[in-house]
Structure 1
């Protein structure tokens, strides 16, 4: 929904998602609100809706603090917490958090190991390349025996790590046709680790918005184009590479060129209709339901209904109602993202 959403707006949306039968409310963080404070408020105003970080950047906190925080959220929510982790990007980590963006994959693996140890209730002993911990035992126990850990992975090595260690996969900007292709290395890594892909929830975060108004649809498409352009050109190379691998190198190069020239509108206009149609779910209710079903058939266990930055609260509520899993109990559960 973006930084313009008020706390009351977020609570209203979360309560509605809870009533409509959505599975999990995810929220991330960049340089605005922190995710855990929002999720604590959501947990206090909902009953069944799980609350998930989507995602916490591993560079932003120590693994011990993340374990303490997610255990506390699990207690407050009575066992409804999900921990989504990711690396964020070089620009955010170095220019906002002031930390060197170094060895993100190795760091993520180390974080998962420490967090799992801490949440187990036993003494934490870890001698790694980033952290050396010994003898401490976390002084708070979560409600869940195993809090799910999701990873927002995109690159080949991170996908492999997801298969080895994660309970869920939380990608963004995922073209529906690429989902099976990127799920395959997760499945292979899971099998090599003695696991099965069925143990890993595939939960792509997808920009969704329903409207019957052509003018509103055009405005929302512009918002999503601008958001995509920012990720391609303003968030390092991860997302640029993702769009190139998805068959959109021409558009991605045009976005970067315009962005470098500080021509933001031109960068957004370089996002093609084909990109929007394959990656986002925008349009009237019937179109959006059909595209959500297409995403499920591509392998999404729990598609996460996210919203374009700048979306109105009324538009978000309308979209939640149109795509609500409660309207069709035969479909897999969906998540909602702020």
Structure 2
């Protein structure tokens, strides 16, 4: 098996159910369901747990501004209870554009908020009565009113160095998007420093990079272009965040070309800036053999449980199914 799980971006709900059933048939371990400013993820996660038996259903991601940590703990415990423990919490900061312009909340102190979020959720899911005196959250006297407690693992979509250290110190998993196989080993250095600070081992953190993935034996060129589209979209449209991350891994010229291409000619222009070298470093695409080689490179660089990010926005249903069956 090449990947441990899948995420699909924004397919229709029924298509998501179909692809998840196929992933479960293939023996994949997890499905990660995103949430941005469209469909809310919790009803979808609930339906997925009802329709599956073995695969873990995971939030990918709950941003740390739209919900309180208490609400996340209640939601996670409820979802885990309905799915015999098959729920994992994926957390992240999202970005200022979404948090401030959609949710209307100030994007302040993301690192401190992430730390307090994790500590509070872990305590509540352990069944503890919480008395928490943080810099952001002050809580007193409450525990989850549940018959059973599920200590759901917490994964954090951390990119910056300090945030990666925080993952190593407090979280159960690291869930980065668009980290190249050429840079994953170095990026893990910050996670290890955090683990050392927390008297933990790197083995205690599940390294779960999301890898742009599209596979086709019959049309590998199309598969590569779909993965290229996904990389171009994130670097070209998501503010400075992913462009700066790409630059930090040695792809600064490419990031500039992608963003300039987006400004000039939208998605098509951005795709023109994604070089084959960048595609090979960030993605796993082409023929099944080519994708297998890419996943092996990620695993050699330190990935424990890579997640295939399938570009459902661009790929048709046939190639999505072929990708899943080749994982």
| Residue number in structure 1 paired with 2:287 | 284
Partner of 1:29: 35
Match of 1:12, SS state, is helix
Cα contact 1:186–1:197 (8 A) shared by 2: yes
Q: In the alignment, is residue 241 of structure 1 matched against residue 244 of structure 2?
A: yes
Aligned to 2:22: 16
* 1:49-88 mapped onto 2 (5 Å cutoff): 49-88=55-94
CA contact under 8 A between 1:79 and 1:142: conserved in structure 2?
no
Which residue in 2 is equivalent to 1:188?
193
Between the aligned partners of 1:138 and 1:263, the Cα distance in structure 2 is: 47
Alpha-carbon offset, residue 127 of structure 1: 2.3
Could you tell me which runs of 5 or more consecutive residues in structure 1 were left unpaired when the two chains were aligned: 324-338
The C-alpha deviation readout for 1:118-168, integer Å capped at 9, x for no partner, is 112121112223222111111125553x21001111101101100000100
CA distance in 2, matches of 1:312, 1:259: 23
- The residue number in structure 2 matching 1:331 is none
Q: Any idea what the Cα deviations from partners look like across 1:204-250, whole Å, max 9, x if unmatched?
A: 11111111334xx4444444334323322422322111100111111
Give the counterpart of 1:92 among 94, 98, 103: 98
Residues 6, 233 of structure 1: alpha-carbon distance in 2 compared, 3 angstrom cutoff: closer
Match of 2:314 among 310, 313, 325: 310
Shift of 1:299: 1.1
* Equivalent of residue 227 in structure 2, options 210, 224, 228: 224
2:39 counterpart SS class: coil
1:188–1:44 CA distance, 2 compared to 1 (3 A): same
Q: Is the 8 A contact 1:163 1:189 kept in 2?
A: yes
RMSD: 1.7
Matched, 1:38 2:48: no
1:50 offset after TM fit, Å? 0.8
Question: Cα–Cα, structure 1 residues 136 and 200, in superposed 2: closer, same or farther, change >3 Å?
Answer: same
User: Separation in 2 of the partners of 1:200 and 1:211?
Assistant: 32
1:258 aligns with 261
What's the TM-score, normalizing by structure 1? 0.89
TM value normalised by structure 2? 0.92
Q: Which residue of 2 aligns with 1:208?
A: 213
- Check the 8 A contact 2:174/2:206 in 1, yes or no: yes
Distance 1:222 1:287, change over 3 A: closer
Residues paired across the two proteins, number: 319
1:253 deviation in Å?
Answer: 1.2
8 A contact 2:9–2:309 mirrored in 1: no
- State the Cα distance separating 1:86 from its structure 2 match: 0.5
Q: What is aligned with 1:162?
A: 167
1:98-177 equivalent positions in 2, closer than 5 A: 98-144=104-150, 146-177=151-182
Question: 2:326 corresponds to which residue?
Answer: 322
> Any stretches of 5+ residues in structure 2 without a counterpart?
1-7
- Partners of 2:284 and 2:65 lie apart in 1 by 31
The 1:182/1:277 distance shift into structure 2, 3 A limit, reads same
Aligned partners of 2:62 and 2:91 also within 8 Å: yes
Match for 1:198 among 186, 203, 220?
A: 203
